[in-house]
């Protein structure tokens, strides 16, 4: 489980880094809850994946003090994957610790199906994130939601590799 979580965190951080502007410094980085401290087994595992994977992991280590801003979803789902629990806890803590902080949750869907219904699916995802953040200590007045449905895809294309990048909630700190 640790390995999976670590790999995933690395990938997400990479995606965020690649997109630019999707991450912000995390004041709680010292807590280090996102990634376990250096574990040889894990590092070895990554290296087994090839040289390229090893380098990518190194990049992700540089992103450790930043919070991931994009949460992905399975097809036709608004359930939050377990792997995001730490990340969302950290966003909630950040909001709870700074009452002036504000976020906008931007829900998105892949292109399949009708457009306004997809607005509904994107909103359902935003609300799933919102509810968890509220439970974990954020205040209602710190969070607004919007759904872009399929109107603002992160990746063009009509295949699953594009769809899985498009089914997402982006967390935008507006203050």
What is the contact surface with other proteins in residues (CB under 8 A)? Answer: 104, 106, 111-117, 119-121, 123-124, 126-127, 130, 140, 144-149, 151-156, 158, 172
CB of 48 to other proteins, least distance (A): 33
CB of 32 to other proteins, least distance (A): 32
CB of 174 to other proteins, least distance (A): 9
CB of 2 to other proteins, least distance (A): 33
Report CA-CA distances (Å) from 69 to 22, 113, 125, 129, 169. Answer: 6, 26, 14, 12, 8
Between 35 and 109, CB nearer to other proteins:
109
Between 101 and 162, CB nearer to other proteins:
162
Choose among 150, 96, 95: nearest CA to 121.
150
Q: Are strands 143-149 and 103-108 parallel, antiparallel or unpaired?
A: parallel
């Amino acid at each position: 489980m640790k390995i999976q979580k670590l790999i995933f965190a690395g990938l997400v951080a990479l995606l965020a880094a690649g997109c630019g502007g999707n991450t912000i410094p995390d004041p709680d980085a010292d807590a280090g809850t996102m990634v376990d401290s250096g574990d040889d087994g894990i590092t070895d595992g990554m290296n087994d994946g090839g040289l390229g994977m090893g380098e990518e992991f190194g990049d992700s280590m540089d992103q450790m003090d930043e919070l991931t801003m994009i949460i992905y979803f399975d097809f036709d789902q608004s359930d939050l994957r377990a792997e995001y629990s730490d990340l969302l806890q950290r966003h909630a803590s950040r909001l709870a610790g700074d009452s002036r902080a504000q976020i906008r949750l931007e829900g998105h869907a892949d292109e399949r199906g009708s457009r306004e219904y997809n607005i509904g699916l994107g909103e359902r995802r935003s609300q799933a994130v919102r509810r968890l953040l509220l439970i974990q200590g954020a205040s209602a007045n710190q969070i607004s939601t919007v759904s872009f449905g399929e109107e603002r895809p992160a990746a063009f294309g009509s295949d699953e590799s594009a769809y899985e990048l498009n089914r997402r909630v982006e967390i935008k700190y507006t203050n």
